[in-house]
Chains A and B, each alone.
Chain A
């Protein structure tokens, strides 16, 4: 179709057919006012403020809904247009409190801005005004619906984008309003407190509590950074006044969350200001902690580590890294531990993700989510099994909703309805623990009905014949007995998945460490291999991790057998490369894993531990557990954290670290995107950025490290790590980069395995449903949700306003 030529305010422009006048005018830089228009919602032309004059048209037209026409002549600010806009504004402020002097929105209120622009100061329309009571029942935000102008954007976002369905228009005429059903308080509704309504409200009807009375928009400094909670790595803008975070908003221009957040990102950051923050180094003396200087603390650590090294050797030292710390901190941490002569460095949290890691490693040869989060919105079929993304990774659920709005088929398999069930075309409420049987039966149907991708199987995979004979017994009838899913339902679900050109699988089962979960990961990998849904855009296997930098901490080599970029310590050339750079000898013996120490009880050799931001006591059994006894019995324990945790309480020395908004660095999210996190405020008291603490300690321990800042650390790491080789802070500043990014001119990799799997050919695996333990799935969705919001982040969320909400709503079932 050819472009359409039209004239707007005397300037000619060519646009694609179907473009609205508003969009065309914006391309010319025209600022047409809008209230009810939002790019991600269907336009409805309700508020009329965007009217423009079109030559030969009888009336003014709403530019947000009117498509361009060939030869159209448009005026966006003619006298007629201005008069119409003034009339609308006059009507609006007739029933809108003009308390702009104290209104929190002053300075960024569209109504105020447009009244200023058109000189509307007062209204001639006297009469009744709304007198509704504020809804300030919830802990998160205050609703003053007298200020609402009924634009409906919050309704669209809540219903369609987020899917919470908490609010809608109520009643009609003068008394119409926006709110929860039956005039309930927001707190009693299905609201998930994602905050999107607040961020999209054009006026001051919805104000987060944390911003009340804290500062004016023009007094606020804004810093773009990355949310510290889950592995999505949402981009956020911190609002700072007088070295204090007073607000947060989702960053619009980024491919990860595209202006969306969840309760954790929007409201969960107040732990930064918790009175529980550690502000000075602490040393245990006669059973109680006393504040000491940094010199004293680092001196004490040096003396004690030297003693352990002398008495027991390097293997007596172990470092536990955290899935929450920056890449720079993780990298330096493993460098320090390895410089002490041991590979005893690990994170136990990653072991919770073993099913995902091991399964993907076996099938594809590397372990990372195959495709990008944003690609989900363009997929044509989504199969969600043993997952509840609405709870564990809300942004993924928003993308799935978008895909369904665009026509994708949604298949949901879970014993209980999940957050996405309302949209599902195929809902399969399978029996607990029967997921492998279900997936095998889908494979059976796909093969029997010739829906598999023969070319892909032939060229890109191995083991197909074995799979074929293994799933032969999983006929829909056989599977029905195990899963409780009817034959027809199963067939149609399999056809929906296999029939799509691009289909994605989402599961958080890999985040749940329990026997048998690996089997489901392999079965799902089979399904993707069978249908050629790998190595291409908007397809793939989405097994997202839990914590914000679990991917990064692993990439950085905080693992006992590999250095950064998964380079094995066993290989001499690798050891030599790192030795040259670091100036130390690297042990060729893989170190102890966290599983060895905490699950298999191979604790004997370990006499001293250095733990970063992990809380094994809380997660592995509590204060009376074997874990606590082991840590308490160590000759020496150093904990570096932002809070006094159950684990820190057992330490000999505690080092106070900076939190996410207080330091610069990078995180790698679950789609392998390395993103810059920036400093917005100073750390409290004498807390220091984690990387700087480790670098300082290295100096005390006699190593000659010289880093001017985290950027230097990153540059060194990138020079030694093939996947990160092409990255620099400068390049990451735009929208991050997804590894592998092997060279300076490489754009990063949005999806993996185009043309080749890491292991060469993709491997089909034979998985019987008996292999799955009773806890294998189903419950997985809650466990997964629990992981994402609570376990590792617990020390944060527990000290936040979101605590009660998360415990009762997100992990409640």
Chain B
């Protein structure tokens, strides 16, 4: 669902604020529930669009600065639209030794983005993670829920092409 919303937003530049209202409704007057409220909003939009955070601020009576502080403190919250496919490059010790920096570099070259960024067509988001617990497959990446292991840089293009 989130991808549809993002696509719609990209076209119209608008965020459905009434949707935000109903998402935060259960938390109004309960400032300690700010994290669950932001999670709900992110679940819906795929990230935390500024107008949505501003609406949360208004509805929950919490300064926007405080919400932004919380949202940027926790890695789980994303402030920018994310791709349909999230590439997680494992940067754990085993993968590092097996050449994960070169894998990441190759992905960055092909997609023309850096780690943490999203392609303009909202197809891919590239992230680095500490360890995904599949050291036997090192170097390994995940694309959404699919692991791809024992990689070499020349295998990357084919793998990415499978995700349109």
Q: Is this pair of chains taken from one and the same complex?
A: yes
With A and B bound together, what is the CA distance between A181 and B51 in angstroms? 12
CB nearest to A423 among chain B residues:
B61
Q: How far is the CB of B96 from chain A (nearest CB, A)?
A: 20
Residue A165 CB within 8 A of the other chain: yes
Q: CB-defined interface of A152-188 with B at 8 Å, one 1/0 digit per residue?
A: 0000001100000111111110000000111000000
Q: How far is the CB of B45 from chain A (nearest CB, A)?
A: 16
Query: Contact at B61–A422, with CB atoms within 8 Å?
Result: yes
Residue B69 CB within 8 A of the other chain: yes
Q: How far is the CB of B77 from chain A (nearest CB, A)?
A: 11
Residue from the set B50, B66, B67 with the largest chain A CB neighbour count within 10 Å: B66
Query: Contact at B61–A181, with CB atoms within 8 Å?
Result: no
Which residues of the partner chain A approach B79 to less than 8 Å between Cβ atoms? 182
Query: Contact at A168–B65, with CB atoms within 8 Å?
Result: yes
Residue from the set B50, B61, B63 with the largest chain A CB neighbour count within 10 Å: B63
With A and B bound together, what is the CA distance between A158 and B72 in angstroms? 19
Query: Contact at A170–B66, with CB atoms within 8 Å?
Result: no
Question: Of the candidates B50, B61, B65, B73, which one forms a contact with A180 in the assembled complex, judged by CB atoms under 8 Å apart?
Answer: B65
Query: Contact at A181–B64, with CB atoms within 8 Å?
Result: yes
CB nearest to B67 among chain A residues:
A181
**CB within 8 Å of A: which B56-103 residues:** 61, 63-69, 72-73, 79
Which residues of the partner chain B approach A167 to less than 8 Å between Cβ atoms? 65
Interface size class of A (residues with CB under 8 A): 10 to 19
Which residues of the partner chain B approach A169 to less than 8 Å between Cβ atoms? 69, 73
Which residues of the partner chain A approach B73 to less than 8 Å between Cβ atoms? 169-172
Interface size class of B (residues with CB under 8 A): 10 to 19
Query: Contact at A190–B64, with CB atoms within 8 Å?
Result: yes
Query: Contact at A168–B50, with CB atoms within 8 Å?
Result: no
Question: Of the candidates A172, A190, A422, which one forms a contact with B72 in the assembled complex, judged by CB atoms under 8 Å apart?
Answer: A172
Query: Contact at A168–B66, with CB atoms within 8 Å?
Result: yes
Which residues of the partner chain A approach B63 to less than 8 Å between Cβ atoms? 159, 165-166, 168, 190, 422
With A and B bound together, what is the CA distance between A169 and B71 in angstroms? 11
Residue A237 CB within 8 A of the other chain: no
**CB within 8 Å of B: which A100-118 residues:** none
Q: How far is the CB of B50 from chain A (nearest CB, A)?
A: 6
Which residues of the partner chain B approach A166 to less than 8 Å between Cβ atoms? 63, 65
With A and B bound together, what is the CA distance between A79 and B61 in angstroms? 48
Across chains A and B, the number of contacting residue pairs, with CB separation under 8 Å, is 44
Q: CB-defined interface of A450-483 with B at 8 Å, one 1/0 digit per residue?
A: 0000000000000000000000000000000000
Residue from the set A158, A171, A181 with the largest chain B CB neighbour count within 10 Å: A181
**CB within 8 Å of A: which B87-143 residues:** none
Which residues of the partner chain B approach A170 to less than 8 Å between Cβ atoms? 68-69, 72-73
Query: Contact at B61–A159, with CB atoms within 8 Å?
Result: no
With A and B bound together, what is the CA distance between A415 and B69 in angstroms? 31
Query: Contact at A165–B64, with CB atoms within 8 Å?
Result: yes
Which residues of the partner chain A approach B68 to less than 8 Å between Cβ atoms? 168, 170, 181-182
Which residues of the partner chain B approach A180 to less than 8 Å between Cβ atoms? 65
Query: Contact at A189–B65, with CB atoms within 8 Å?
Result: yes
CB nearest to B58 among chain A residues:
A417
With A and B bound together, what is the CA distance between A166 and B65 in angstroms? 6
Which residues of the partner chain B approach A165 to less than 8 Å between Cβ atoms? 63-66
Which residues of the partner chain B approach A172 to less than 8 Å between Cβ atoms? 72-73
With A and B bound together, what is the CA distance between A189 and B68 in angstroms? 12
Q: CB-defined interface of A778-808 with B at 8 Å, one 1/0 digit per residue?
A: 0000000000000000000000000000000
With A and B bound together, what is the CA distance between A794 and B35 in angstroms? 45
With A and B bound together, what is the CA distance between A189 and B64 in angstroms? 9
With A and B bound together, what is the CA distance between A158 and B66 in angstroms? 11
Which residues of the partner chain B approach A158 to less than 8 Å between Cβ atoms? 65
Which residues of the partner chain B approach A190 to less than 8 Å between Cβ atoms? 63-65
Q: How far is the CB of B120 from chain A (nearest CB, A)?
A: 21
With A and B bound together, what is the CA distance between A189 and B54 in angstroms? 12
Query: Contact at B50–A182, with CB atoms within 8 Å?
Result: yes
CB nearest to B73 among chain A residues:
A172
With A and B bound together, what is the CA distance between A165 and B68 in angstroms? 11
Query: Contact at B72–A171, with CB atoms within 8 Å?
Result: yes
Which residues of the partner chain A approach B66 to less than 8 Å between Cβ atoms? 159, 165, 168
Which residues of the partner chain B approach A422 to less than 8 Å between Cβ atoms? 61, 63
CB nearest to A176 among chain B residues:
B73
CB nearest to B74 among chain A residues:
A172
CB nearest to B68 among chain A residues:
A181
Which residues of the partner chain A approach B72 to less than 8 Å between Cβ atoms? 170-172
CB nearest to B60 among chain A residues:
A422
With A and B bound together, what is the CA distance between A353 and B63 in angstroms? 34
Residue from the set A166, A182, A422 with the largest chain B CB neighbour count within 10 Å: A182
Q: How far is the CB of A132 from chain B (nearest CB, A)?
A: 15
With A and B bound together, what is the CA distance between A422 and B53 in angstroms? 17
Q: CB-defined interface of B27-71 with A at 8 Å, one 1/0 digit per residue?
A: 000000000000000000000001001000000010111111100
Q: How far is the CB of B9 from chain A (nearest CB, A)?
A: 17
With A and B bound together, what is the CA distance between A189 and B57 in angstroms? 13
With A and B bound together, what is the CA distance between A753 and B72 in angstroms? 53
Q: How far is the CB of B91 from chain A (nearest CB, A)?
A: 16
Q: How far is the CB of B34 from chain A (nearest CB, A)?
A: 12
CB nearest to B66 among chain A residues:
A168
Which residues of the partner chain B approach A421 to less than 8 Å between Cβ atoms? 61
Residue from the set B50, B53, B63, B65 with the largest chain A CB neighbour count within 10 Å: B65
Q: CB-defined interface of A23-45 with B at 8 Å, one 1/0 digit per residue?
A: 00000000000000000000000
Q: How far is the CB of A325 from chain B (nearest CB, A)?
A: 40
CB nearest to A165 among chain B residues:
B63
Q: How far is the CB of B28 from chain A (nearest CB, A)?
A: 12
Q: How far is the CB of A34 from chain B (nearest CB, A)?
A: 23
Which residues of the partner chain A approach B61 to less than 8 Å between Cβ atoms? 421-422
Q: How far is the CB of B68 from chain A (nearest CB, A)?
A: 4
Q: How far is the CB of A505 from chain B (nearest CB, A)?
A: 23
With A and B bound together, what is the CA distance between A421 and B58 in angstroms? 11
With A and B bound together, what is the CA distance between A190 and B63 in angstroms? 9
Q: How far is the CB of B74 from chain A (nearest CB, A)?
A: 8
Q: How far is the CB of B127 from chain A (nearest CB, A)?
A: 16
CB nearest to A167 among chain B residues:
B65
With A and B bound together, what is the CA distance between A190 and B72 in angstroms? 19
Q: How far is the CB of B90 from chain A (nearest CB, A)?
A: 20
Which residues of the partner chain B approach A168 to less than 8 Å between Cβ atoms? 63, 65-66, 68-69
With A and B bound together, what is the CA distance between A465 and B68 in angstroms? 55
Q: How far is the CB of A223 from chain B (nearest CB, A)?
A: 35
Residue from the set B50, B53, B64, B69 with the largest chain A CB neighbour count within 10 Å: B69
With A and B bound together, what is the CA distance between A170 and B77 in angstroms? 13
Which residues of the partner chain A approach B50 to less than 8 Å between Cβ atoms? 182
**CB within 8 Å of B: which A110-159 residues:** 158-159
Which residues of the partner chain A approach B69 to less than 8 Å between Cβ atoms? 168-170, 181
With A and B bound together, what is the CA distance between A276 and B133 in angstroms? 73
Known: A189-B65, A422-B63. 6 other contacts (CB 8 A): A165-B66, A167-B65, A170-B69, A171-B72, A172-B73, A422-B61
Provide a sorted-by-A list of 15 A–B residue pairs whose CB atoms are within 8 angstroms.
A159-B66, A165-B66, A166-B65, A168-B65, A168-B68, A170-B72, A171-B72, A172-B72, A180-B65, A181-B53, A181-B64, A182-B64, A182-B68, A182-B79, A190-B64
Nearest first, the 10 A-B pairs at minimum CB distance are: A165-B63, A181-B68, A168-B69, A168-B65, A181-B64, A171-B72, A181-B65, A422-B61, A172-B73, A169-B69
